[in-house]
Amino acid sequence: MNHQTEFICDSIGTVLLHAKVRDGAAKGKIERAFRTIQESWLYGLDITTVKSLEDVNSLLAEFIRSYNLKVHSSTGETPIDRFLKSRERIKTPRSEEWLDECFLHREKRSVRHDATLSINKVQYDVPMQFIGQTVEVRFWPEHMEKAYILYDKKRYPLRKTNKVENGRTKRANLRIDYNLTGGDIHA
């Protein structure tokens, strides 16, 4: 399983469960509602009365509306009433932005001494304060221009590396003390 799936499930507060082998119902291959629509509406649809796709959509919406208002023999209540009773157990996203962030890819990367890191063999510039650190990068694989480092609840955007510009950037001179590292300076 992909680690990104684990991150996503953790972010939205769900648990990933795997279905048993050869258990089609557990995998949602045939849902009861789909079967009901197929058997009660689609098979009985008079296609000679349908002139457009909008007509089909309108007829289907009307069928679903009436279906949800009929009392079911097995539950003794309408589907809409049953849904409304369990509504407090349904978790809704805090916001659309929050939900989008839950689905971002997350990867740990080490920042090199030239203030770059790489994702999928492409180098990106990062703020110099992260040199030598391991950071968490969040991104959509198809929209890397929006990638960022999340550090201390703040976002630091990444930028595709311009190697010429990066080579001219002044950085703190990390001096090497040969007395501490050992070896001969005059070698």
Q: Which domain holds residue 157?
A: 96-162
Does position 186 have pLDDT exceeding 70, yes or no?
no
- Confirm if 117 and 109 have CB atoms less than 8 A apart: yes
Residue 11 within a domain: no
Q: What is the pLDDT of residues 135-167, one digit of tens each?
A: 999 999 999 999 999 999 899 999 998 877 767
Shared-domain flag, residues 103 and 134: yes
Most confident of 32-41, 45-54, 158-167: 45-54
Determine if the pTM surpasses 0.75.
no
pLDDT category at 4 given cuts 50, 70, 90 is confident
Please say if the pLDDT value at position 179 is more than 80.
no
CB-based burial, 97-107: b 16+ in 10 Å, e otherwise: eeeeebebbeb
Q: Which residues contact 124 (CB under 8 A, 6 or more apart)?
A: 116, 117, 118, 144, 147, 158, 159, 160, 161
The CATH number for 115's domain is 2.40.50
List pLDDT tens digits, range 82-110. 989 988 888 888 999 999 999 999 999 99
In a domain, 6, yes or no: no
Per the domain annotation, does 170 fall within a domain?
Answer: no
CA pseudo-torsion sign 89, 90, 94, 99:
positive
The answer to whether residues 41 and 65 touch, using CB atoms and an 8 Å cutoff, is: no
Query: Is residue 102 domain-resident?
Result: yes
Task: Encode burial over 139-155: b for 16+ CB neighbours within 10 A, e otherwise.
Answer: beeeeeeebbbeeeeee
- Overall number of domains in the chain: 2
pLDDT given for residue 76 in this prediction = 93
